[in-house]
């Protein structure tokens, strides 16, 4: 199968999974129901993803991929890491507060086994936070525990409680202008820390 065709099919499967996740939650979104909604065979889903946990882990990776790519390029190519943080912060915040990430987080919060939460952590936070730490280290000239602390402070300033407010439905999706403003304010406050 050509990569372009496979990618289109993957996106159809992902959309079907998100649609079912919104209606039935993680437990109610079976591989068979996702396959039917995506007009794919159940065998294809199992061959491509292994199981439901593998499918949702792929959705988490897809969701974090743009931020991961931008962070990796900034670490490798940036002569001005603070400027890179300025460019990356809105991309990250848009992903984190976007509808797909919020759906995944709502489902993980409601899923009692912790299976989806573990996939979210492994494919999202455990990938993205170390990349932010590397960029923060370049920007601040720090290392080790100090870098970890500054990274946590930066992400705290950037995200605050917006993600949980979105998850529990008390915060509407932010506009790109609101996201840019939030990122700018976080960077100004972060600059004062060091």
Per-residue pLDDT tens for 45-59? 999 999 999 999 999
Distances (CA, A) of 16 to 42, 46, 58, 165, 181: 13, 15, 14, 25, 33
> Residue 44 above 80 pLDDT?
yes
How far apart CA 155 and CA 173 sit, in angstroms, is 19
Average pLDDT over residues 75-82: 84
Assess contact for 38 and 13: CB atoms under 8 A. yes
Neighbours of 35 (CB within 10 A): 20
Whether residue 42 is found in the same domain as residue 57: no
Separation CA 171–CA 69 (nearest Å): 28
Q: Which of 78, 82, 13 has the alpha carbon at shortest distance from 52?
A: 13
Q: Tell whether 92 and 102 lie within a shared domain.
A: yes
The DSSP secondary-structure symbol of 79 reads S
Residue 75 has pLDDT above 80, yes or no: yes
Q: How many domains does the chain have?
A: 2
Any idea what the CATH number is for the domain that residue 18 is in?
Answer: 1.10.10.60
Residues 111 and 129 grouped into a single domain:
yes
Q: How far apart are CA 194 and CA 88, in angstroms?
A: 19
Q: Which domain holds residue 182?
A: 52-193
pLDDT at 1: 65
Mark whether 74 and 170 lie in a shared domain. Answer: yes
End-to-end CA distance of the chain: 51
Both 112 and 140 in one domain: the answer is yes
If asked whether residues 100 and 120 sit together in one domain, one would say yes
Give the mean model confidence (pLDDT) for residues 137-166.
Answer: 95
Domain match, 34 and 66 both:
no
Reduced to 3 states (helix: H, G, I; strand: E, B; else coil), residue 155 is helix
User: pLDDT of 108-134, one tens digit each?
Assistant: 998 888 989 999 999 999 999 999 999
């Amino acid at each position: 199968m050509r990569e372009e065709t496979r990618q289109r099919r993957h996106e159809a499967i992902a959309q079907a999974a998100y649609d079912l996740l919104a209606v039935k939650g993680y437990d109610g979104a079976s591989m068979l129901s996702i396959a039917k909604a995506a007009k794919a065979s159940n065998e294809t889903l199992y061959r491509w993803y292994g199981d439901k946990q593998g499918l949702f882990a792929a959705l988490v990776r897809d969701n974090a991929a743009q931020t991961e790519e931008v962070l990796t390029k900034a670490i490798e190519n940036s002569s001005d890491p603070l400027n890179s943080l300025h460019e990356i912060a809105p991309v990250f915040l848009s992903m984190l507060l976007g509808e797909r990430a919020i759906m995944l987080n709502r489902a993980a919060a409601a899923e009692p086994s912790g299976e989806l939460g573990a996939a979210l952590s492994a494919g999202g936070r455990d990938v993205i936070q170390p990349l932010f730490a590397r960029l923060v280290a370049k920007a601040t000239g720090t290392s080790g525990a100090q870098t970890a602390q500054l990274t946590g402070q930066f992400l705290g300033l950037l995200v605050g409680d917006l993600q949980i407010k979105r998850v529990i439905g008390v915060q509407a999706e932010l506009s790109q202008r609101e996201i840019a403003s939030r990122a700018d304010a976080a960077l100004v406050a972060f600059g004062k820390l060091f």
